[in-house]
């Protein structure tokens, strides 16, 4: 068989596989959105859920998911940036560094249920934080930190070597070169990866079943004292997130409209994750154009 014929056949196979993946993704998203978008309303997004009666919403669960996301990223981003900078610029290429990279790769491939069990045994029970937003944030940090470290390290390694050498040649210290030369250049990639990691956190459920809990106190949105148990800003209260709520409604829901609630909550979750992904790409490109235009 001629090389051109083989090339055309393989090109057709690859294109066909690509279209198949796109069709499967579109069918999945279309099914979830068609079933759920009709149930989304302002009342649905802001009201509390009902255990038995119809007409409940997802307000506390949506707030818990956003609050948990903020807590997780406050912990994850500084640790991930620091570890990524160390691995890229300070760590020597030896067996210890190779072992650390292996550990990072292993952690990134851990099933989330295993991270949840680890959080239950260590964070919830051993450290005594109980089922709370803080326990969930720490468990998700373990789950998400390898991704943040890898994103930072790869972004810094992608900086042209000439840029780094120019900073050092001008008499800048290594730390000043990293903060004033390398980080601004790699910032678009780091920001994009951070937002994508945030979207991954927002849709997580398995790890939170054992750390953040499957229930939430009746929140008083007029009380913003983080020391009060019913305050929305209390990080040490149990918090059922949106993804956990979807699982709970589907498996244990007693309300007459449980199927509709689950469909609407699933649509909200899918739309939010899509917005995270699209927003990350748009913001990364915009930031890159702004930085390159300023040079």
Within a domain: 243: yes
pLDDT digits (tens, 9 = 90+) for 264-281: 998 998 888 888 878 777
Regions of the chain with pLDDT less than 70: 1, 291-295
Model pTM? 0.85
CA dist 228 and 216 (Å) reads 14
Distance CA(49)–CA(252), nearest Å, equals 13
- Domain assignment present for residue 6? The answer is no
Please give the full DSSP string across 79-140, using - where no structure is assigned: HHHHHHHIIIII--SSHHHHHHHHHHHHHHTS-HHHHHHHIIIIIIIIS---SSHHHHHHHH
22 falls within a domain: yes
The pLDDT score that the predictor gives to residue 195 is 81
Structure tokens at 217: 């106190």
CATH of the domain at 22: 1.10.3720.10
> Which residue, among 291, 75, 281, 276, has the nearest Cα to 186 in the 3D structure?
291
pLDDT at 14: 92
Residue 92 has φ and ψ, to the nearest 5°, of -80, 150
Structurally, how many domains does the chain consist of? 1
Predicted confidence at residue 292, as pLDDT, reads 65
Give the pLDDT of residue 91.
81
Q: Do the domain assignments include residue 60?
A: yes
Q: Domain range for residue 235?
A: 12-293
2 belongs to a structural domain: no
4, part of any domain:
no
| Residue at 3 is within a domain | no
Q: What is the pLDDT at residue 1?
A: 58
Question: Is there a domain that residue 92 lies in?
Answer: yes
């Amino acid at each position: 068989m001629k090389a051109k014929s083989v090339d055309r056949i393989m090109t057709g196979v690859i294109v066909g596989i690509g279209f198949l993946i796109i069709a499967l993704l579109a069918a999945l998203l279309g099914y979830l959105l068609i079933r759920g978008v009709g149930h989304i309303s302002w009342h649905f997004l802001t009201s509390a859920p009902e255990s038995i009666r119809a007409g409940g919403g997802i307000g506390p669960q949506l707030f818990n998911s956003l609050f948990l996301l903020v807590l997780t990223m406050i912990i994850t981003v500084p640790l991930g940036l620091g570890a990524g900078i160390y691995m890229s610029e300070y760590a020597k290429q030896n067996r210890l560094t190779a072992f650390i990279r292996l550990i990072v790769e292993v952690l990134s491939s851990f099933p989330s249920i295993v991270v949840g069990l680890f959080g239950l045994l260590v964070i919830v029970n051993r450290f005594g934080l109980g089922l709370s937003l803080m326990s969930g944030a720490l468990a998700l940090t373990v789950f998400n930190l390898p991704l943040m470290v890898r994103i930072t390290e790869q972004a810094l390694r992608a900086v042209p070597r000439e840029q780094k050498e120019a900073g050092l040649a001008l008499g800048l210290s290594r730390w000043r070169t990293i903060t004033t030369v390398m980080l601004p250049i790699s910032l678009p990639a780091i920001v994009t990866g951070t937002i994508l990691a945030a979207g991954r956190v927002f849709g997580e459920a398995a790890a939170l079943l054992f750390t953040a809990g499957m229930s939430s106190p009746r929140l008083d949105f007029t009380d913003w004292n983080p020391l009060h148990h019913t305050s929305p800003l209390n990080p040490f209260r149990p918090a059922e997130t949106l993804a956990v709520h979807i699982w709970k409604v589907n498996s244990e829901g007693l309300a007459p409209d449980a199927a509709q609630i689950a469909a609407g909550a699933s649509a909200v979750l899918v739309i939010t994750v899509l917005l995270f992904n699209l927003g990350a790409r748009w913001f990364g490109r915009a930031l890159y154009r702004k930085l390159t235009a300023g040079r």
